[in-house]
Amino acid sequence: MSEVATHTIAASPWQDFKEITKMRLSISVVFSSIIGYFLGAYEIDWFIVAMLAVGGYFMVGASNAYNQVLEKDLDALMDRTKNRPVASGRMSTRTALAIAVIFTILGLGILYYINPTTAMFGGISIFMYVLLYTPLKTKTPLSVFVGAFPGAIPFMLGWVAATNDFGIEPGTLFMIQFFWQFPHFWAIGWFLYDDYKKGGFFMLPTGKRDKGTAFQVVIYTIWTILASLVPALGVTGALYLSPIAAIVVGGLGLFMLYWAIQLYKKRDAVTAKRLMLSSVTYITLLQIVFVIDKFLR
């Protein structure tokens, strides 16, 4: 207890709420879902957009709260997580679990109100994140592969919320975000390697910051770029990317690929962090370009 107590810092209930639900991450996930909705909707229903945002936040917040309950002892070992509410002892496990359960119920209920298919995928996402990805993080680098499934659902979830249907279009959105997560999380795993090691987390494909890991980062970055350009070929139904938008998206991809190649050459933490930042820039601007392209055609 004394060791945990030294990690404790003062924080307001609001700050703890932001931490337990990982507010910044949750908002970025909600943003992705809303973009998917805009892409799939023929007419924008702002009430549904609001329901998707609130329901999506509840679901992601619940996943993060469950995660912090399950990993509280490991979080206490790492510098980047030792001051989280449960790990530091500011919030009890019971309180965090209650938040997670309430958010799960509310999130599923709201997504079900939108349509049952959206609720189903939301349920799959939270199940895979909490019961598969989280326990695998300390056992195998394949946890990143497993975690890429729930991580890729939000982008396609918005389309499903708009159409109540799963087809080639949301499947394509899923694949874009699925491939993107590998270079993104491997970059994070690279520059936080020493901290992750304290908690016993295996994030890199080879387990090391070596040429093999860097090579896979480059390969999956290329796959991400190719997946993002498939809609320009006219083979993904109602999801289409104009030639001009495809050039922009391709340029964004080359920007990300540049940093992936630099990581392969330098294999240092600074470059890995720049790759992580470029990957966030890439996926955010890609989603915006997809929406702008749809409404300008």
Q: Is residue 251 pLDDT above 70, yes or no?
A: yes
My answer on whether 140 and 2 are in the same domain is yes
My answer on whether 178 and 40 are in the same domain is no
Radius of gyration of the chain from its Cα atoms, rounded to whole angstroms:
19
My answer on whether 157 and 195 are in the same domain is no
pLDDT digits 0-9 by tens, 163-193: 998 999 999 999 999 999 999 999 999 999 9
pLDDT digits 0-9 by tens, 235-248: 999 999 999 999 99
My answer on whether 141 and 20 are in the same domain is yes
My answer on whether 148 and 224 are in the same domain is no
pLDDT digits 0-9 by tens, 263-283: 999 999 999 999 999 999 999
Distance between terminal CA atoms of the chain?
61
CATH number assigned to the domain comprising residue 124: 1.10.357.140
> 257 exposed, middle or buried (CB, 10 Å; 0-12, 13-18, 19+)?
buried
The domain in which residue 84 lies consists of: 1-166
pLDDT, position 6: 39
Residues near 131 by beta carbon (within 8 Å), at least 6 away in sequence: none
Give me the mean pLDDT over the 145-169 stretch.
Answer: 94
- Average confidence score pLDDT of the chain: 92
Pairwise CA distance, residues 172 & 164, whole Å: 16
The tally of domains found in the chain comes to 2
pLDDT band at 297 (very low <50, low <70, confident <90, very high): confident
> How many C-beta atoms lie closer than 10 Å to residue 247's C-beta?
13
DSSP H helical ranges for the chain: 2-5, 13-20, 23-40, 46-70, 72-75, 85-88, 93-114, 116-127, 134-136, 143-163, 168-191, 193-199, 211-229, 243-266, 269-296
pLDDT band at 9 (very low <50, low <70, confident <90, very high): low
Where among 142, 166, 190 does a domain terminate? Answer: 166
Q: Is residue 2 pLDDT above 70, yes or no?
A: no
pLDDT, position 131: 94
Where among 166, 189, 221 does a domain terminate? Answer: 166
pLDDT, position 216: 97
pLDDT band at 119 (very low <50, low <70, confident <90, very high): very high
> How many C-beta atoms lie closer than 10 Å to residue 56's C-beta?
30
pLDDT digits 0-9 by tens, 35-88: 999 999 999 999 999 999 999 999 999 999 999 999 999 988 898 889 899 999
> 226 exposed, middle or buried (CB, 10 Å; 0-12, 13-18, 19+)?
middle
pLDDT, position 202: 82
My answer on whether 60 and 116 are in the same domain is yes
My answer on whether 144 and 202 are in the same domain is no
pLDDT digits 0-9 by tens, 279-292: 999 999 999 999 99
